[in-house]
Amino acid sequence: MRIVHVLRAPMGGVLRHVRDLARAQAEAGHAVGLVCDVQGTQGYDEAALEALAPKLALGLHRVRMARSIGFADIASARKILKILRRLGPDAVHGHGAKGGVYARAIGRLANRNAPPARLYSPHGGSLHYDPESTAGKVYFAIERLLERHCETILFVADHERAAYRAKIGAPRCATRVVHNGLTPAEFTPVLTAPDAADFLFIGEMRRLKGPDLFVDALAALSDGGKTSVSAVMVGAGPDRAAIEARIAEAGLGDVVALRPPMPARAAFALARTVVMPSRAEAMPYIVLEALAAGRPLIATDVGGIAEIMGGHGDALIAPTLPDLTAAMAAALDDPGALGRRMPPVDTLRQRFSTAAMAEAITNACREALLQARKSPDRAVKRAIEPRSSNVS
């Protein structure tokens, strides 16, 4: 098959998912392409894209994509459509809110010879919004409309599919749950560095991921008598400057070391305990990676994290400052207790593999393609359709 993945921000777990999937599909003999936002935004993993590019027989294509909905999306959609028509895909797979809109809204027009399949993976995305908020109502209305232009929605967790049903309604197209997976090498234990800190936060620096809760918990521990506590924060994002200011205001300059983005396994060696204080998630890779590496983990009970933990979900906490502070204090008092509450690595290895993830998603592509070409709908040429017939 000829498969093109579309996502806006090449960073974090979404890029990790697309990278692993694209590699596996390419190695299985499929021609794969990727369309994403242009360079320049802090946090974009250009190194990962550069490493992936040689695997992409259909190429890596950069088109400016705004984070928020606006008139600029029309121009972006036209440019993406021009690329897609040149590539002639059998399947267009959109990832995240914005990538999902482009893949579904223009996907049917992407191949003049035969209608391609359109697949959508939310990766949390618009599902993080409150259904009572204005933004939530707008995004969920768009999601409902675009169901008619999609063969399959792929969820990374049962929790994500349940959230979709609760906020948007029962999907009117096929759905599947396919958990994220790791490579065999990622199940090798990571040894702690001799000068390791107590705690590690690694992830995108934005409020949704809870870096502010992490800093506030460190301040509470220090104020409560844990004066020797130490931490490392690894990552970049829109709220990094605010986090730096919060650290300074709390007088934690000697407590917290800020580091730029780096490979997760390199970061794991920098501290004895990984902390993930997210307020919302889908199926976060960092939880899988930490547990596979044998690292003790303090994580919040949000999204599909409980599905990763299996029967060890009692180790999870609520995304509140008191609960996080108490969990971190307990880890300092009894370092071994937290590790004993983690799920066995062998169990994780059996349940979460990149090979199984890629095979399930590629099979979903095949089924969606059969459906698309069996019952093609009548694509409506909207404002994004170029007036000229010469768009190749």
Identify whether the C-beta of residue 108 lies closer than 8 Å to the C-beta of residue 77: no
pTM: 0.86
pLDDT at 384 over 50: no
Same domain, 117 and 202: no
Pair 339, 197 in one domain: yes
Confidence of residue 335 (pLDDT cuts 50, 70, 90): confident
Considering the domain boundaries, does residue 313 fall inside one? yes
Residue 37 belongs to some domain of the structure = yes
pLDDT, average across residues 19-48: 95
Residues 132, 13 share a domain: yes
What does the pLDDT read at residue 93? 98
How much is the pLDDT for 209? 96
The phi-psi region of residue 303 (left if phi > 0; otherwise alpha if psi is between -120 and 50; otherwise beta) is left
What is the pLDDT, as a whole number, of residue 380?
35
Q: Is 381 part of any domain?
A: no
In a domain, 392, yes or no: no
pLDDT at 305: 96
* Same domain as 228, residue 79: no
Give the pLDDT confidence score for residue 390 in this predicted structure. Answer: 34
Q: What is the domain count for the chain?
A: 2
Q: Indicate the pLDDT class of residue 314, thresholds 50, 70 and 90.
A: confident
- Virtual CA dihedral for 335, 341, 346, 349, nearest 10 degrees? -100
The CA distance from 54 to 109, in Å, is 27
The rounded mean pLDDT for the chain is: 93
Check whether residue 203 and residue 116 sit in a common domain.
no
Instruction: Indicate whether 177 belongs to any domain.
Output: yes
Mean pLDDT, rounded, for 245-271: 97
Q: Residue 235 belongs to what domain range? A: 184-350
Residues 79-103 have a mean pLDDT of: 97
Average pLDDT rounded to a whole number, residues 277-282: 94
Amino acid at 218: L
Give the dihedral of Cα atoms 19, 24, 25, 31; nearest 10 deg: 70
* Res. 364 pLDDT band, cuts 50 70 90: very high
Please check the confidence at residue 231 and state whether its pLDDT lies above 90: yes
